[in-house]
């Protein structure tokens, strides 16, 4: 069997149909969409077709979408737009478990711009207290920025309920939906979200392209200034091939969800979880008690150092991770698991296994065959290192 990839929350393999859709725009259709000739027109049509494809996945008007380079750019644009819109509102509410691109931007605004930032806690299952959220959104709150699903645990939050709560209190609402789009059905038609971000490489599209949904009436301050691309909302020459790939990936994701593909993915995840729990003593699944996206397992193995687990699995051709890929080089324990108040034994002994529609039952069974041995060996080496 070829090497098995269970790290799809970090990035997904490019779907072959996406690759084929992109190829013409890397070869013969190389025009700049802003150019006034046939080469430019062909590229512009491709960009607008992709915009329609992404809009169909989100069930929103195409003109509300701004193409970006990634989720980080979209998140930063949304946060800065909301904070700059009304100088009288200097308060932002977020959570302690957001992606670091949100946390670092808000910490910068707090430390350098005098913005008050409220970091809401989560419980042991990674869930948010909506009563605490309601109390935190005061009259001077400019923005509430909360993710749709956590990138480490897969825990889902009730975005529709949160959006209505925030709207009723007069604040703007930004949802980092990078881990939701393409994995769970999502309709923005009647959802009072002001900003929502996505990244194509999380649902079998190319890296280097994402999109930001901006609701009607929501303020937008461009992060990048220059030309009038994206109707003046985001300067810079379009990444046409990447945008075409994003559109094709969105179309494929929409088809996957239309036939209940996320249900099949959840069954595969559950089979993997149940096999691990049956074969490995003292294994736990973080966040399992509540709603989660269909593909993610946060697996705690007390006494098994995660760096040993990663190395042993990699030697056996299984790719998994511990935390966000963006934080994989950090020696600090996961800020998500720490915020959940998990015991110390799990902070450095947790793996993230994240599947995609390209994974198979055969791969899951292969993992279950080797993992009990890997877990036992990691615990033995962990004990030896601590003596």
User: Which residues participate in catalysis according to the annotation?
Assistant: 326
Cα–Cα distance for residue pair 297/356, rounded to 1 Å? 12
Structural contact between residues 293 and 154, judged by C-beta atoms closer than 8 angstroms:
yes
Render 199-216 in DSSP notation, one character per residue: EGGGGT--TT-EEEEE-T
Q: Give the strands of the sheet with 195-199, arranged side by side.
A: 65-68, 210-214, 195-199, 172-176, 141-147, 91-95, 116-120
Torsion sign, CA atoms 98, 100, 103, 109: negative
**Residue 5: what are its φ and ψ, rounded to 5°?**
-110, 110
Token representation of residue 208: 């280097």
Instruction: Please report how many Cα atoms fall inside a 13 Å half-sphere around the Cα of residue 245, on the Cβ side.
Output: 30
Residue 168 to residues 135, 159, 163, 215, Cα–Cα distance (Å): 12, 14, 9, 16
Closest CA to 35 of 45, 49, 21, 25: 45
């Amino acid at each position: 069997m070829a090497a098995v990839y269970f790290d799809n929350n970090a990035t997904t393999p490019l779907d072959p149909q996406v690759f084929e859709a992109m190829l013409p725009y890397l070869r013969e259709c190389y025009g700049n969409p802003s150019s006034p000739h046939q080469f430019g027109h062909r590229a512009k049509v491709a960009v607008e077709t992709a915009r329609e494809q992404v809009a169909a996945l989100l069930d929103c008007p195409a003109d509300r979408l701004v193409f970006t380079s990634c989720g980080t750019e979209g998140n930063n644009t949304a946060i800065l737009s909301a904070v700059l819109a009304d100088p009288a509102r200097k308060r932002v509410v977020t959570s302690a478990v957001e992606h670091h691109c949100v946390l670092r931007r808000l910490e910068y605004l707090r430390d350098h711009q005098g913005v008050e930032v409220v970091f809401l806690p989560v419980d042991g299952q990674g869930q948010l207290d909506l009563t605490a959220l309601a109390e935190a959104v005061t009259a001077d709150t400019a923005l509430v920025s909360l993710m749709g699903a956590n990138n480490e645990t897969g825990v889902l939050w009730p975005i529709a309920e949160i959006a209505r709560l925030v709207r009723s209190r007069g604040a703007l609402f930004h949802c980092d939906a990078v881990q939701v789009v393409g994995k769970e059905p999502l309709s923005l038609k009647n959802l009072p979200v002001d900003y929502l971000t996505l990244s194509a490489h999380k649902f079998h599209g190319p890296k280097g392209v994402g999109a930001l949904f901006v609701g009607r009436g929501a303020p937008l301050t461009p992060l990048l200034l220059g030309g009038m691309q994206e109707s003046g909302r985001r300067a810079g020459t379009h990444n046409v091939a990447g945008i075409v790939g994003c559109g094709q990936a969105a179309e494929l994701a929409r088809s996957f969800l239309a036939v209940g593909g996320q249900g099949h993915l959840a069954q595969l995840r559950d089979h993997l979880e149940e096999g691990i729990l049956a074969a490995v003593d003292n294994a736990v699944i973080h966040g399992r008690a509540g709603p989660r996206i269909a593909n993610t397992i946060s697996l705690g193995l007390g006494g098994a150092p995660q760096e040993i687990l990663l190395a042993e699995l990699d030697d056996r051709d299984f790719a998994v991770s511990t935390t966000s890929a963006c934080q994989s080089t950090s020696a600090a324990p996961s800020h998500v698991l720490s915020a959940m108040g998990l015991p110390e034994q799990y902070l450095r002994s947790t793996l993230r296994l994240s599947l995609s529609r390209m994974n198979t039952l055969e791969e899951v069974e292969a993992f279950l065959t080797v993992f009990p041995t890997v877990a036992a060996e990691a615990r033995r080496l962990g004990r030896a290192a601590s003596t």
